[in-house]
Amino acid sequence: MLVRYKTFPSLFNEIDELFAPTYPLFNRVRFVEPTRGVQVKDSGDAVNVVVELPGVTKEDVKVTLHDGVLSVVAERKQPELKENEQWVRNEISYGKFERSINLPYPVVAEKIAASHENGMLRITLPKAEEAKPKQISIR
């Protein structure tokens, strides 16, 4: 079967919004929205999902797949200030992060691999055989 490759324009637009604004270099005052970027890539045989989760421990990340929808739930705990401590600036947002991604292909659930390093969650979802690109040779 020839499956037509679906693109995910909505997702990419969102990524652009998150990443595109060009702030002046070394901006001292501007408030910055947390850049919890999500990137989804098609590597041919697999779908690669990368989620930025700085400051989140492995134990506070949960990844689930249900009905072709990949969900990432994470929590970044609010630091508690001790006595004699005070905020000078607080731009980082804390709390719960939830993101669901509609997978464009059927994937092999048993072979999903996830790693969490340097605040980056990387999920590799191998495509189901029928979704893999095939070269059709002409006889």
Partner 1 sequence: MTNGVVKGVHTLVPAVDIVETKNSYIVKLDIPGAAKDKIKAQIEDNSLRVSASIAEYGESGKESEPVKEYRREFALANDVDVNTIDAQYDLGVLTITLNKKVQFLPKEITIN
Q: How far is the CB of 48 from partner 1 (least distance, A)?
A: 7
For residue 87 the two structure tokens come to 């905020």
For residue 23 the two structure tokens come to 């702030």
**What does the binding site for partner 1 look like in residue numbers (CB under 8 A)?**
19-20, 22-23, 25-28, 30, 32-35, 39, 41, 43, 48, 50, 52-57, 79, 81-82, 84-93, 115, 117-120, 122, 124
Give dist(CA 23, CA 83) in Å, integer. Answer: 35
Secondary structure (3-state) at 99: strand
Q: Which is nearer to partner 1, 3 or 61 (CB)?
A: 61
Q: How far is the CB of 1 from partner 1 (least distance, A)?
A: 27
Q: How far is the CB of 64 from partner 1 (least distance, A)?
A: 21
Q: Which of 129, 36, 18 is nearest to 74 (CA)?
A: 36
